[in-house]
Structure 1
Amino acid sequence: MSARWPDPDRVIIDRFVASLDLHSTKSRTCYAQVLHGFQDVAERYHVFDQEVLLVWLRESAERRAPSTLLHRTRIVDRFLERLVEIGAIQRNPVVALRDECNTKQCMPIWRALASQDPEQALAELRQPRPFGSVLGEMMAEHVAMMRRRGYKYTSQPLLLLRFDRFLQLHPGPEAEPLSAMVDRWAATNVTRHHAEECEKLQRLFAKILRHRDPSMPARRPDPRPRKEAAKQWRKPHIYSPADVRRMLDVARLYPSPRAPLRPQSMYTMLLLAYCAGLRRGELARLNLGDVDLQVGTITIRQTKFFKTRILPLPDSVLVELRAYINARQRAGASQDARSGLFWHERGDGHYTPEMITWLLSDVIRRAELKPLQGKAGPRVHDLRHSMVVNRILEWYRTGIDPQDRLPFLATYLGHRDINSTLVYITVTQELLHYANERFRAVGAQCLSLGREAQP
């Protein structure tokens, strides 16, 4: 709760609108009009609190459409934050409600206040406080400890927060054992995915308890829930070389009149995603200085598991990469070694991983390999799976034993060990055919020798 409105002369409004550097006179007029109207309401009250927000919303709703009104709340939000920065008010009441409801954004608060029953809407919006359950302190301490040790530790806290939210919304009896809490959570959903989550949670709590008391016996993991959940996973699509050539042709001719460099950028992204097996995040983080055309390598820095690797590239890929870098320079891109390899004119010049996924997915759709709408069909990450399968097929065709080359392939992909690479080996009919032929040529003789040795 703040005191009376602090700007009777309305000087702060004028300064705030001038500081925004709005290029349009119409925009400056709109901002000033919204803020003066808001102050007209605020000055009628002795205390600046939630009631002021409600009255302003009700009076504005009589003259404005709901979408326009919610858009104008953003202007008020920015102004209130400025008042807090300069010390004119102690706290923004919208932020106070946001913290009370444990939401990250202000717009849900404004929508609740603008509804027919604000109190009910705010009550429905309220979320439990993170790590506010009976086990919350223990879970929060474990997350903080793991991050101090240098782990990213992003997925495990999300699992713990979901369990923490359940415990707050469905409290059990006092002195309830941990196993009973997990059993109650497991009973809320009978899907295979939730069963796998419960198994992960039990493993995680076993680790937490052992950190607190090293004398506790280790818990033996149960592999069955994961195997059951894996049956529902979508199998990766293995692109044939002809599919990849079709996608490259589509990317090169991609319609982009406002960004002439984009088709060549997408073409090069596809090339590196398939030929080098790069993840979408690795593509987004590539800088110009990571490419060494003289040596013929590309450096992938600090990716999954905090690894950095230097990848040699085929001559054909280097030719295309050199052509893209030349086109990038002609387009006026920054030549700083720290600038993004895949550059565009807006923002900071980098493509985000999400934008890369959207663009390459659109290429897959235009190549008629994916439905026009929805998430069904081949994915961008399947290019990485395809690279592994097609490379093994090529080894079979040239008479190379893939078993001897898998450690090198694991290193090239940035995996910790060969087991991670084995996940990418999807058994196709062609791969099965070559494997059977190799067994017939090598392994079948061993079986014949074994039969001859029998008396």
Structure 2
Amino acid sequence: MSGFDEHVQQYLSLRRSFGFKLEREEHLLAQFVAYSDAAGQEHLTGDLAIAWAKLPVTASVNQWAKRLSVIRSFAVYLATMDAATEVPPSGIFPTSRQRPTPYLFSEPDIERVLTAARGLGSPLRAATYETLFGLLAVSGMRIGEALGLTRGDVDLGSGVITIRHAKFDRTRLVPLHESTTAALSAYALTRDRLRRPPRADVFFCSTAGTALGRSGVDRMFRKITTTLGLRTGTTHPRVHDLRHGFAVRTIVNWQEQGVSIDAHLASLSGYLGHVAPADTYWYLSAVPELMTLAADRLQVRFGAQR
């Protein structure tokens, strides 16, 4: 036996104490432990880690690199206790990270998506998806955060949502516009009228009264955007793009109002649940409207002639 299992549990426990969930890492490390035991290896070596990372021979090089990075992080930890541990070098697998091109939904696009959701056959399903997609579009919440909301997390009286297990297991408050609160209140009444009693303490529920699954939400979003013609062979809108669009629209509105972006970016970052403002820049694509507004402000500031 390799004896890695105990070290894996200690490693996961340590990192989770810092707020990391590590669900994927736990699954992969369990596979690695089983592989090491079958190979009769007592120490973690570079050759062992690389051989395991390449087990799915049909996988992409990027996938191999992700698998190896999980083992590499564990090896760094293990090396502090076992001098015979070899930390696999970085750069073994040449990878290329391409950022998915976001689809920036216009307001008419969002209205069409909500109208299509409203037309779904089941009244409860229609109300759920219309309200869910609407909330994501106007709040910038992550889809996982919205699906994980309990009824108690949505305070319809004060118009504030409490996200209790955001990224890195942090808690944050999301204040809502009164129109959003009204829409959520209307949904709650419809949900409770059409589905009694609930089978799970969730705000957004399925027709069976259970929590919505991420895969099911993704399928519904793909179906709607395909039907509307928003999804094509080259354009692939994702649910996550609603969050991206919220960030960009906020910056555009600030630009139009003459608001200092630098002074307010931290507010947007906190609202989105980012650890630092630098993380928010990931969402700010160089969209033509945003760049035009920025150029206009530069011309005003420096007195350039058009």
TM-score normalised by L of structure 1:
0.56
CA distance in 1 between partners of 2:275 and 2:93 (Å): 24
Amino acid at match of 2:74: L
TM-superposed deviation, 1:334: 4.2
Q: 1:268, 1:320 within 8 Å by CA — same for their partners in 2? A: yes
With over 3 angstroms needed to count, the CA separation of the structure-2 counterparts of 1:137 and 1:434, relative to structure 1, is farther
With over 3 angstroms needed to count, the CA separation of the structure-2 counterparts of 1:252 and 1:209, relative to structure 1, is same
Match of 1:208 in 2: 78
Which aligned pairs between 1:147-162 and structure 2 lie closer than 5 A?
147-149=12-14, 150=16, 151-161=20-30
- 1:370 alignment partner, SS class: coil
TM-superposed deviation, 1:198: 3.3
With over 3 angstroms needed to count, the CA separation of the structure-2 counterparts of 1:241 and 1:163, relative to structure 1, is same
Match of 2:6 in 1: 141
CA distance in 2 between partners of 1:192 and 1:235 (Å): 18
Which aligned pairs between 1:273-288 and structure 2 lie closer than 5 A?
273-288=136-151
1:322 to 185, 196, 205: 185
CA distance in 1 between partners of 2:234 and 2:292 (Å): 31
TM-superposed deviation, 1:229: 2.3
Q: 2:29, 2:70 within 8 Å by CA — same for their partners in 1? A: no
Match of 2:68 in 1: 198
CA distance in 2 between partners of 1:319 and 1:263 (Å): 17
Amino acid at match of 1:364: T
Q: 2:164, 2:171 within 8 Å by CA — same for their partners in 1? A: yes
Match of 1:339 in 2: 201
Match of 1:358 in 2: 219
With over 3 angstroms needed to count, the CA separation of the structure-2 counterparts of 1:224 and 1:175, relative to structure 1, is closer
TM-superposed deviation, 1:275: 0.9
TM-superposed deviation, 1:400: 1.2
Match of 2:113 in 1: 247
1:229 to 96, 116, 127: 96
CA distance in 2 between partners of 1:317 and 1:360 (Å): 20
2:284 to 425, 433, 454: 425
CA distance in 1 between partners of 2:72 and 2:30 (Å): 14
Q: 1:299, 1:311 within 8 Å by CA — same for their partners in 2? A: yes
CA distance in 2 between partners of 1:392 and 1:224 (Å): 40
TM-superposed deviation, 1:415: 2.1
Q: 1:252, 1:267 within 8 Å by CA — same for their partners in 2? A: yes
Q: Which has the higher contact order (CA 8 A, sep 6+)?
A: 2
TM-superposed deviation, 1:197: 4.3
TM-superposed deviation, 1:225: 7.1
CA distance in 2 between partners of 1:286 and 1:333 (Å): 18
CA distance in 2 between partners of 1:199 and 1:261 (Å): 43
Q: 1:182, 1:198 within 8 Å by CA — same for their partners in 2? A: yes
After superposition, the C-alpha distances for 1:9-45 in whole angstroms (9 at most, x for unaligned) are xxxxxxxxxxxxxxxxxxxxxxxxxxxxxxxxxxxxx
TM-superposed deviation, 1:285: 1.9
CA distance in 1 between partners of 2:8 and 2:63 (Å): 23
Match of 2:165 in 1: 302
Which one has the largest radius of gyration?
Answer: 1
With over 3 angstroms needed to count, the CA separation of the structure-2 counterparts of 1:187 and 1:291, relative to structure 1, is closer
Match of 1:410 in 2: 269
TM-superposed deviation, 1:269: 0.3
CA distance in 1 between partners of 2:44 and 2:185 (Å): 63
CA distance in 2 between partners of 1:297 and 1:195 (Å): 41
Q: 1:284, 1:356 within 8 Å by CA — same for their partners in 2? A: no
With over 3 angstroms needed to count, the CA separation of the structure-2 counterparts of 1:434 and 1:225, relative to structure 1, is farther
Amino acid at match of 1:339: D
Amino acid at match of 1:201: I
CA distance in 2 between partners of 1:165 and 1:154 (Å): 17
| 4+ residue runs over 6 A deviation | 174-177, 186-190, 223-226
CA distance in 2 between partners of 1:289 and 1:224 (Å): 48
- 2:162 alignment partner, SS class: strand
After superposition, the C-alpha distances for 1:394-435 in whole angstroms (9 at most, x for unaligned) are 111111122222222222122222233222222222222223
CA distance in 1 between partners of 2:68 and 2:267 (Å): 36
TM-superposed deviation, 1:268: 0.5
1:179 to 46, 62, 66: 46
- 2:161 alignment partner, SS class: strand
With over 3 angstroms needed to count, the CA separation of the structure-2 counterparts of 1:331 and 1:191, relative to structure 1, is closer
Count of matched residue positions in the alignment of Structure 1 and Structure 2: 294
TM-superposed deviation, 1:345: 4.3
CA distance in 2 between partners of 1:186 and 1:276 (Å): 39
Match of 2:128 in 1: 265
Note the residue ranges of structure 2 that are not aligned, 5 or more in a row: none
Q: 1:143, 1:153 within 8 Å by CA — same for their partners in 2? A: no
Identity rate, percent? 27
